[in-house]
Amino acid sequence: MRTIRTAAAAFLLLLAATAFVTAQPSGSCCNSPGLVPAGQAGEPVFQDLPKSGKKCWIGEVNYFTWEFDKTPKMGTSILVIKLCDKDGKRVSDLAITGRSDMPSMRGAHDSGAVAFKTNRAGDYLLPVNVVMPGDWEVQLTFSRNGIVIFRGRIGLNV
Ligand SMILES: [Cu+2]
């Protein structure tokens, strides 16, 4: 837990520094860059993931676990994903994006697809901004060499 907190703190600092340097207006919760181009037929399916800390298999080659740095509540929580090969060795050779929103008011707080960043330990980290109490979800997309190999979703009740 301690390493996660340290990693999360470092990550937030990095984010703050990036925001400062690029001097963009502070992020709105309602930006919707959109994952699926308009007019594309067929929404991708995101399967429900096992509970926090349980192994989620990606085919037979990789598995991962997910957890939040703290119980999600109003504000920013860091979603941490640890990716392993089938033998349990930590790897970070997949690209992961996360997209958070409230299913009951789809689009109202859509984060758009945001790339996880990896820390030195190889943990994948993504800040998730909860701006309203209720049901939230984070849609995860895993890619290898630009090709999507897995989609999953995490449901949250805040
Ligand atoms: Cu809402």
| pLDDT (0 to 100) of residue 3 | 54
- Can you give the residue range of the structural domain that contains 135? 2-23+48-157
Average pLDDT over residues 72-77: 96
Residue 86 lies in a domain: yes
Residue 72 lies in a domain: yes
Query: How does pLDDT run across 109-145, given as a tens digit for each residue?
Result: 999 999 999 999 999 999 999 999 999 999 999 999 9
Average pLDDT over residues 55-83: 97
Alpha-carbon distance of 36 to 33, in angstroms, equals 9
Angle at 139 between CA 135 and CA 13, to 5 degrees: 90
55 Cα: distance to centroid of ligand 1 (angstroms): 30
Domain count, the chain: 1
29 Cα: distance to centroid of ligand 1 (angstroms): 10
Look at the block and give the residue holding tokens 């033998």: 87
Residue 37 lies in a domain: no
104 Cα: distance to centroid of ligand 1 (angstroms): 7
Strand ranges for the chain from DSSP E: 47-48, 56-58, 62-68, 75-85, 95-101, 114-115, 117-118, 124-130, 135-144, 147-157
| Residue 98 Cα distances to 20, 86, 88, angstroms | 23, 23, 23
Query: How does pLDDT run across 13-66, given as a tens digit for each residue?
Result: 444 444 444 333 333 333 333 334 444 567 899 999 999 999 999 999 999 999
Alpha-carbon distance of 129 to 101, in angstroms, equals 9
| pLDDT (0 to 100) of residue 143 | 97
Residue 41 lies in a domain: no
Tell me the pTM: 0.73
Query: How does pLDDT run across 51-63, given as a tens digit for each residue?
Result: 999 999 999 999 9
DSSP code of residue 75: E
Burial class (CB in 10 A: 0-12, 13-18, 19+), 127: buried
Comparing 21 with 91, which gets the higher pLDDT? 91
87 Cα: distance to centroid of ligand 1 (angstroms): 40
Residue 30 lies in a domain: no
Yes or no: say if 75 and 127 are a contact pair by the CB < 8 Å rule: no
The CATH number of whichever domain residue 80 belongs to comes to 2.60.40.10
- Which residues lie at CB < 5 A from ion ligand 1? 102, 105, 108, 132
Residue 10 lies in a domain: yes
Coil vs helix vs strand at 17: helix
